[in-house]
Structure 1
Amino acid sequence: MILPPAIFAAVAGLFFAGMHRENPDSLPTALKGQQAPTLELAPLADKPLLTDEALRNGDVKLVNFWASWCAPCRVEHPQLVELAKEGIEIHGINYKDKDDKALAFLSGLGDPYTLSGTDSSGRTGLDWGVYGVPETFVVDGEGRIVTRFAGPIISSVLENTIRPAIEEARGN
């Protein structure tokens, strides 16, 4: 007789606590503050290949995991194109996708990526802790991960998460 109300109260308490977390949509990364994992990427056609050395070139950059089959990737793409026009270095990792479809995606929507690579097996994504696409990492000039955002970068995410992380990575 007491067990059902007690179970309900416990579940309601967990739900209530979950609703009042600081950011219920965030998926924290265990890699924050650590060196970015090693990249094991194949070239995406003739595009310049993203390498480990490029992650440690002294410049702040974004590393964006994406795929042509990913609808949220299409939603965030205009934000990435705009950031690239502003001079933000963005590197793209095409995740579990076919090269021809990835190239058609970039041809149709624009290519914001300075360097690219393809992760057809998903091994690099696994090493980086990627849950799905899109996911974007802000990486400082020494190759340390400053933050990660899982999901499409929309204007509010750009202003409230990505830009502040870029400033943090710059040391501002």
Structure 2
Amino acid sequence: MKTILLLLCLVATSLALAKTPGEVPVGGTLRDATMQGLSGPSRKLSEFRGKPLVINVWTSWCAPCRQEMASLERLSRRHDGKRYTVIGISTDDYPEAARAVMKKSGTRFSHFIDQQLLLENMLGADRIPLTLLVDAQGKVLGKYYGARDWDSPESRDLIGKAFGIRM
């Protein structure tokens, strides 16, 4: 009986630690990918290299995702996009649903849609919202699951330390 319980615990632990297919871990460098434009043209992820990047993964049906949108918008405007860039990636199946959330939230930073799960898997978005801090060379510095107030002093301090900039 003890052996069965031990095996069940091991299986449960390994499932809890399982990554999404092709996930780039913290410390790894993001692979290039073409992102389908939602609020503008499609772009390659590599086009954002050269300055730090805040990537927020969200979906229209996720209340915490919608809750943090306003703080991400304020964060995106904080330095007029000169020190870092904020982008959103929706995992919605239908662009219309994602655009409705963007319109209601009033966000102006670039949004993309990932209907094929390529970015969702690479970024590790098995839970959302997910926000990644990525350095200017594409290295993942941190992954943060759950909604946050991204323009709070604590979050700005976290971002400033990760990117080595004064917020």
Aligned equivalent of 2:59: 67
Letter in 1 for 2:57: F
Please list the CA deviations of residues 41-92 of structure 1 after superposition, one character each: whole Å capped at 9, or x if unmatched: 3222x51334222231x21120111111111111111210110120352111
Structure 2 counterparts to residues 98-113 of structure 1, below 5 A: 98-113=94-109
Q: Give ranges in structure 2 of 5+ residues lacking alignment.
A: 10-22
Equivalent position to 1:151, from 146, 157, 162:
146
Cα deviation for residue 158 of structure 1 reads 4.7
Question: CA separation of 1:78/1:159 partners in 2, compared to 1, >3 Å: closer, same or farther?
Answer: same
Cα deviation for residue 150 of structure 1 reads 0.7
Q: Which moved more, 1:68-77 or 1:162-171?
A: 162-171
2:41 paired with 1:48: yes
Equivalent position to 1:169, from 145, 148, 163:
163
TM-score in terms of structure 2 length: 0.72
Aligned equivalent of 1:95: 91
Q: Which of 1 and 2 has greater Rg?
A: 1
Cα deviation for residue 167 of structure 1 reads 2.8
- Tell whether the 8 Å contact from 2:56 to 2:131 is kept in structure 1 after alignment: yes
Q: Give ranges in structure 1 of 5+ residues lacking alignment.
A: 12-28
2:127 paired with 1:135: no
- Tell whether the 8 Å contact from 1:63 to 1:137 is kept in structure 2 after alignment: yes
Question: CA separation of 1:78/1:154 partners in 2, compared to 1, >3 Å: closer, same or farther?
Answer: same
- Tell whether the 8 Å contact from 1:67 to 1:96 is kept in structure 2 after alignment: yes
Count of residues paired in the alignment: 145
Aligned-residue CA RMSD (Å): 2.9
| CA distance in structure 2 between the aligned counterparts of 1:142 and 1:120, rounded to whole angstroms | 26
Aligned equivalent of 1:31: 25
- Tell whether the 8 Å contact from 1:50 to 1:116 is kept in structure 2 after alignment: no
Cα deviation for residue 143 of structure 1 reads 1.0
Letter in 2 for 1:132: R
| CA distance in structure 2 between the aligned counterparts of 1:30 and 1:94, rounded to whole angstroms | 18
Question: CA separation of 1:69/1:52 partners in 2, compared to 1, >3 Å: closer, same or farther?
Answer: same
